[in-house]
A and B are shown apart, each in its own frame.
Chain A
Amino acid sequence: MHEWAIAEGVVSAVSKLAEERGKEVMRVKIVVGELSGYEIEVLDTALKSLSIDTPLRKARFEIVVEPTQFKCNFCGFEWGMPEVRGQLAEIFGSENAETPMHYIPELAVAFLKCPKCGSPDFTITAGRGVRVAEVELA
Chain B
Amino acid sequence: MMDPRLVQIQERFREIGETILVGSGKGGVGKSIIASTMALIMGGLGAKVGLLDLDLHGASIGWLFKGLKTEESKNGLIPPQLLGVKAMSIAFLSEERALPLRGAAKSEAITELLAITNWGKLDYLIVDLPPGTGDETLTALKLIPEPKGVVVVTLPSRLSGVVVSKLMDLLRALDVNVIGIIENMAWFEQPTRRVRMFGRGVGKEIARKYGVDFLGEIPIDPALNVAVEQGAAALLRTRFARALEKIIRRKILGRSRRT
Contact = CB atoms under 8 A, between A and B. Distances in A.
B99 to A, nearest CB: 5
Contacts, number: 106
Interface string B87-106: 00010011101111110011
A12 B4 CA distance: 8
Interface stretch (A19-27, A57-65, A80-88, A120-128): A120-128
A89 interface: no
Interface stretch (B29-37, B112-120, B223-231): B112-120
A103 B118 CA distance: 12
Contacts of B11: 8-9, 12
A2 B74 CA distance: 5
A8 B109 CA distance: 20
B116 A103 contact: yes
Given A14-B2, A131-B1, A133-B1, A2 B72 contact: yes
A13 B116 contact: no
Interface in A88-138: 100, 103-107, 109-111, 120-121, 123-124, 128-133, 135
Interface residues of A, number: 34
B259 interface: no
A132 B2 contact: yes
Contacts of A4: 74-75
A10 interface: yes
Contact of B105 (A6, A8, A10, A124): A124
Interface in B27-65: none
B175 interface: no
B144 interface: no
A128 B94 contact: no
Contacts of A10: 2, 4
A128 B153 CA distance: 36
A9 B3 CA distance: 8
Interface of A: 1-2, 4-6, 8-10, 12-14, 16-17, 73, 100, 103-107, 109-111, 120-121, 123-124, 128-133, 135
Given A6-B8, A16-B7, 12 more contacts: A2-B75, A8-B8, A12-B4, A13-B2, A73-B102, A100-B95, A103-B77, A103-B112, A110-B94, A121-B100, A131-B3, A131-B4
Closest CB pairs A-B (n = 7) = A9-B4, A9-B8, A132-B2, A110-B97, A106-B109, A100-B93, A13-B7
